[in-house]
Amino acid sequence: MSEREASLLQVMDGIPTSLSDRPGWQRALVHVGRFFGRKPLGGAGVALIFAVLFMAAFAPAVAPHNPEAVARTSRPACDAETERLIQEALAAGTPLLATAPQCYSPFLLTRAETDPLIRLKFPSELFQQGEIVETIASPSRAHPLGTDLRGRDLLSRIIYGSRLALLVGVGAALIAVTFGTIFGVVSAYFGGWVDMGIQRVTDALFSFPPLILLLVFSQVVQDPNKYWNTIALGIIGVAGVVRVARSAVLTAREEVYVLAARTVGASDRRVMARHILPNILAPLIVVFTTSIGAYILAEAGLAFIGLGDPTAISWGKMVNEGRALGPAKPLMALFVGSALTLTVLGFNLAGDALRDVLDPRLRGRGGRAGF
């Protein structure tokens, strides 16, 4: 072997020949790149999720204003046309105006110094020179999405509202998947009267409409807040996860590796935790991801009908406030509803993509199956 060939071999020794030879972070980047390439809509969903997570985590830095701060502006003086109308009304003896303009009248202030009765004839707003609250203001440079009914910046409240949405969505999904997995694995593994009892309780939960259960829960709890609502939504979702986990365990418990573990004397707890549970994680991950969007919608629905946390900034409550304004001011409900829709869409797209990636029955349909 020549010296040149030996030097080339020495250089090539440091170059990984396969993906498994690369460092962990490089393998992770390759897998992420493949996921985005094969599932573009799933990648878009993941991007939306990270955008909402970033918005919620860094809300104080991202939001342009304090979400509870009331926007105020100085009341301007009335223009020449309004002053002329006021003078004509005063001269005609019919000084009452149908609507009070958002300005003060220097003419009336001057006349009120000599005739205090003028203050009784005109709306008080025409004599106020102080600041006014910018309620339901249109989008502007200071307030990109405008303000709400109390003059608070709408964009800032949408950003802070993402915290409650993620708290309830992720928290309820964790409760449902955790307890649903435990009960589903135990039910399918032991069978018999254990399976019968757990399934009958599951059937009882399925027989009640979720909204009825939430109404009952809100009446039982003295002061329902966002944490109680999260627990209630999670408990309602346990029944569905039990069915998914049970069906997966019924197949996995008959596999050869489970029979081998029993043969060597492994305990039931070890078989369930070390051999069955890792092999049924794929459907549970998909259930967890897709259910987050459903719980976010459920929390918004509760807040919309007045069952949410009264002290929390909720997208559902903001949509209800925007609905009350009617078609004359549709922007508030439109902006908040768009944030809610994009967040739920992100989790649904990511969940569908994970289902295609993790389900071996869907891998043979092509890299862009379902998309």
For residue range 170-186, list pLDDT tens digits in order: 999 999 999 999 999 99
12 — pLDDT class (breaks 50, 70, 90)? very low
> Helix 281-304 crosses helix 210-220 at what angle (to 10 degrees)?
60
Q: What is the CA radius of gyration of the chain?
A: 31
Which of 191-198's residues contact partners 24+ apart within 8 Å by CB, and which partners?
195/246, 198/242
Domain ranges of the chain: 45-69+148-365, 72-133
Give the tens place of pLDDT for each residue, 281-323: 888 998 999 999 999 999 998 888 888 888 889 999 999 988 8
87 — pLDDT class (breaks 50, 70, 90)? confident
**DSSP 3-state of 51:** helix
39 — pLDDT class (breaks 50, 70, 90)? confident
Which has more confidence, 93 or 7?
93
Q: Report d(CA 318, CA 307) in Å as an integer.
A: 13
Residue 292 amino acid letter: I
Q: Report d(CA 188, CA 292) in Å as an integer.
A: 25
100 — pLDDT class (breaks 50, 70, 90)? low
- Max mean pLDDT range (11-25, 34-48, 91-105, 225-239): 225-239
Phi, psi of 73 (to 5 degrees): -140, 155
Question: Tokens 């220097």, residue?
Answer: 106
- Give pLDDT, residue 369: 43
- Residue 361 in this model has a pLDDT that exceeds 60: no
Q: Report d(CA 369, CA 371) in Å as an integer.
A: 5
- Give pLDDT, residue 214: 81
- Report the candidate in 328, 341, 316, 329 with the shortest Cα–Cα distance to residue 139: 329
pTM for the full model? 0.78
> Helix 281-304 crosses helix 154-190 at what angle (to 10 degrees)?
140
Q: Report d(CA 117, CA 108) in Å as an integer.
A: 11
Q: Which of 9-18, 157-166, 279-288 has the lowest mean pLDDT?
A: 9-18
359 — pLDDT class (breaks 50, 70, 90)? low
Q: What is the DSSP letter of 139?
A: P
CB of 347 closer than 8 Å to CB of 52: no
CATH superfamily assigned to domain 45-69+148-365: MetI-like (1.10.3720.10)
99 — pLDDT class (breaks 50, 70, 90)? low
Q: Report d(CA 265, CA 368) in Å as an integer.
A: 44
Q: Distance of CA 129 to CAs 108, 324, 361, Å?
A: 12, 30, 72
Q: Report d(CA 233, CA 334) in Å as an integer.
A: 26
CB of 361 closer than 8 Å to CB of 370: no
**DSSP 3-state of 22:** coil
Which tokens hold the place of 312? 């929390």
Which has more confidence, 155 or 93?
155
